[in-house]
């Protein structure tokens, strides 16, 4: 794949999308966001890519935010377009019918924290620091952080993080439910372990379950439960349902495609 700011690789059914601007701590400028968006389109269509791991190059940062030098002189219209580019790219992650894991090794700030929030699972190394420091720059999170962060950690903690701009260390991030796992180092290895477990299962069922949770979270509970039933019925149109249940009854491992 020919990208300048993104490395795209697929190995053993895992797709690695690495933000590769280490000199700027992987800050996302328009080019990086555009290429990330294209890489996600490729991953969505790539049958060999069952699980996606997003990470940052250089060992210091996941992503240190939107690129401040690119934003400094933006007009309000340009800021709107930039925010929409970030939001639509991050929405692609949410809507992708595959699990996306953020492997955070270092700073995940501003747009970097928001990128991690758009992923399904977050794994961080001990040295990682996560935060939304935009108010120190005279703006506030513009890539859906004000929407996803309170949904994940509750409004009290999200508002504290917004208003204080405090960088949360990995251990505290785990405590408040902002990350699933903290590992001493090499969060990609932990993400790979999770990905390998996921790959053993039915991808169509994982995709439907992800969709049921995402869409249900936007609904009133009883509507969400009805929606679950509708998607549950869809699972019964798949070859994986037949194979999974037949394999169980035949006392053998399922052979999902």
Site string (89-108) toward ligand DAK, x via CB under 6 A: ------------------x-
Distance of closest approach, residue 74 Cβ to ligand DAK, in angstroms = 7
Residue 238, H or E segment: none
Q: Is residue 39 within 8 Å of 8, Cβ to Cβ?
A: yes
User: Rule CB under 6 A: is residue 116 a binding residue for ligand DAK?
Assistant: no
Residue in the block written with tokens 């260390």: 169
Closest CA to 106 of 31, 29, 24, 164: 24
Residue 256 sits in the site that holds ligand DAK (CB under 6 A): no
| Residue 44 makes contact with ligand DAK by CB under 6 A | no
Catalytic residue among 35, 114, 192, 228: 114
Q: Which stretch binds ligand DAK (CB under 6 A): 44-52, 137-145, 199-207, 210-218?
A: 137-145
Q: Does 161 interact with ligand DAK (rule: CB under 6 A)?
A: no
Does the annotation count 4 as an active-site position?
no
Nearest approach, Cβ of residue 117 and ligand DAK (Å): 12
Q: Which of 56, 133, 187, 244 lies at the binding interface for ligand DAK (CB under 6 A)?
A: 133
| Contact between 92 and 78 (Cβ < 8 Å) | no
**232 class by beta-carbon count within 10 Å (0-12 exposed, 13-18 middle, 19+ buried):** middle
The closest of 87, 79, 74, 75 to 33, measured between CA atoms, is 87
- Residues near 78 by Cβ (< 8 Å), separated by ≥ 6? none
Q: Which residues bind ligand DAK (CB under 6 A)?
A: 24-25, 27, 64-69, 79, 82-83, 86, 107, 109-111, 133-134, 137, 139, 141-143
């Amino acid at each position: 794949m020919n990208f300048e700011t993104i490395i795209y690789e697929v190995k053993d059914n895992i797709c690695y999308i690495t933000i590769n601007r280490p000199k700027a701590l992987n800050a996302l400028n328009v080019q990086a966001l555009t290429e990330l968006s294209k890489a996600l389109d490729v991953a969505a269509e790539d049958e060999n890519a069952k699980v996606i791991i997003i990470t940052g190059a250089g060992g210091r940062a996941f992503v240190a935010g939107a690129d401040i030098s690119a934003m400094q002189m933006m007009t309000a219209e340009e800021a709107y377009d930039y925010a929409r580019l970030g939001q639509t790219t991050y929405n692609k992650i949410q809507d992708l019918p595959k699990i996306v894991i953020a492997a955070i090794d270092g700073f995940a700030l501003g747009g970097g924290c928001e990128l991690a929030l758009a992923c399904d699972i977050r794994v961080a190394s001990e040295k990682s620091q996560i935060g939304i420091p935009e108010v120190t720059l005279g703006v506030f999170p513009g890539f859906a952080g004000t929407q996803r962060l309170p949904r994940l950690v509750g409004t009290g903690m999200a508002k504290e993080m917004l208003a204080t701009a405090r960088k949360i260390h990995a251990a505290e991030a785990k405590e408040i439910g902002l990350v699933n796992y903290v590992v001493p180092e090499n969060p990609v290895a932990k993400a790979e372990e999770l990905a390998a477990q996921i790959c053993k299962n039915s991808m169509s069922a994982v995709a439907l379950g992800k969709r049921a949770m995402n869409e249900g979270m936007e609904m009133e509970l009883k509507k969400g439960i009805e929606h679950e039933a509708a998607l549950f019925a869809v699972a019964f149109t798949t070859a994986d349902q037949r194979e999974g249940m037949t394999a169980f009854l035949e006392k053998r491992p399922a052979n999902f495609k």
